[in-house]
Structure 1
Amino acid sequence: MSDDVRDSLIPYDEIVQDALRAVVGRVLSQIEGHDSLPGEHHFYITFKTQAPGVDIPAHLIAKFPDEMTIVLQNRFWDLKVADDHFSVGLSFNQTPSILVIPYAAITAFVDPSVDFGLQFQVSDDDMAEPEPHDEADNDRPEVTTEDGSNVVTVDFGKKR
């Protein structure tokens, strides 16, 4: 076997990250329709505030221009889970707000009560809207990663 590293023509890292982001959606769908989590569960969800599809109040973007972490535990409402995003009502300084967060914007999902965590890569390329252009017969999406990494951090450790 050769020591040289070959570039894959299959975007394995993107496929795995999309699958793990679907885990977040599935977990959230378990609590959809409730206004608190069972037992000691609580979720820390970190996301890019400027990512496409994120819809949060302007005062939150001003306070968190790059990344923000929300906590879902006892005080949330109207959790709605879709295939590519979720929305939830939270209160910030006693001001109620509805946040819409695409799974693609999430950088971390943690439930510390059971030592479960997922960490995702969101590259600057994901943040920029593509330049408009005319379709060409040879248009093919290019798949590159910013740092060449194909590692997704997953922690399935048990709480002791």
Structure 2
Amino acid sequence: MSDGAPDSLIPYDEIVQEALRAVVGRVLGEVEAAGGMPPGSHHFYITFKTGAAGVDIPAELRARFPDEMTIVLQNKFWDLSVADDHFSVGLSFNQIPAKLVIPFSAITAFVDPAVEFGLQFQAVSEVEEAEPHAEPENDSEQGAGNGVGSEDGDDGSNVVTVDFGKKK
């Protein structure tokens, strides 16, 4: 009767996404507990949806990056604080300090280039509902926040992409 697998009554895709986002929280929590700096040559590229529920960033950053933004946690950040559902960090943008609050549910990519490790996430439903408020024509002009980890798929790196939304 059906060409594919039956629809699951268990939301496996959501469970896996939540578990993978917990990896990001644990890594950042360990950095926070160790004094706030990544050990050795580790550093992180974190891409997130700027319009997602709970994201708190300065208005000028939201205007520059209406859809997605990537931050780097390497040498010049401060006040990293990790909670169960979000993290906050101080960063400088054009020599202007800013505090960012980012829920783990808003993260779309996490990469540690020092060890060729990366995770990519599906946008959560809250983000999808927030996107119509941004002007779509601006999304294509934003190159800085797009593509972190997207080119790593063919180079043998450890990028994990989970996409349960498409059936064949």
Structure 1 and Structure 2 fold alike (TM over 0.5): yes
Matched, 1:103 2:120: no
Aligned to 1:143: none
- Name the aligned partner's letter for residue 40 of structure 2: G
- TM-score, normalized by length of structure 1? 0.77
- Name the aligned partner's letter for residue 8 of structure 1: S
Correspondences of 1:34-73 after superposition (within 5 Å): 34-73=35-74
* Counterpart secondary structure, 2:101: strand
Q: Sequence identity of aligned pairs in percent?
A: 71
1:79 is displaced (CA, Å) by: 0.4
* Counterpart secondary structure, 1:22: helix
* Counterpart secondary structure, 2:26: helix
Aligned to 1:25: 25
Q: Which runs of 5+ in 2 are unaligned?
A: 131-162
* Counterpart secondary structure, 1:110: strand
Tell me how far apart the structure 1 counterparts of residues 69 and 123 of structure 2 sit (CA, whole Å). 13
Aligned to 2:135: none
In proportion to residue count, which structure has more helix?
Answer: 2
- Name the aligned partner's letter for residue 17 of structure 1: Q
- TM-score, normalized by length of structure 2? 0.73
The answer to whether the 8 Å contact 1:35/1:75 transfers is no
Tell me how far apart the structure 2 counterparts of residues 88 and 149 of structure 1 sit (CA, whole Å). 35
* Counterpart secondary structure, 1:32: helix
Tell me how far apart the structure 2 counterparts of residues 37 and 78 of structure 1 sit (CA, whole Å). 13
Aligned to 1:132: none
Correspondences of 1:1-160 after superposition (within 5 Å): 4-32=4-32, 34-123=35-124, 125-127=125-127, 128=129, 148-149=165-166
1:7/1:95 CA distance change after superposition, 3 Å: same
Query: After superposition, what is the alpha-carbon deviation per residue over 1:15-58, rounded to whole angstroms, capped at 9, x for unaligned?
Result: 00000100100000111153432211110000000000000000
1:92/1:11 CA distance change after superposition, 3 Å: same
The answer to whether the 8 Å contact 1:49/1:65 transfers is yes
Tell me how far apart the structure 1 counterparts of residues 70 and 86 of structure 2 sit (CA, whole Å). 16
Runs of 4+ displaced beyond 3 Å: none
Tell me how far apart the structure 2 counterparts of residues 64 and 3 of structure 1 sit (CA, whole Å). 41
Report how many residues are paired: 132
The structure that has the greater radius of gyration is 1
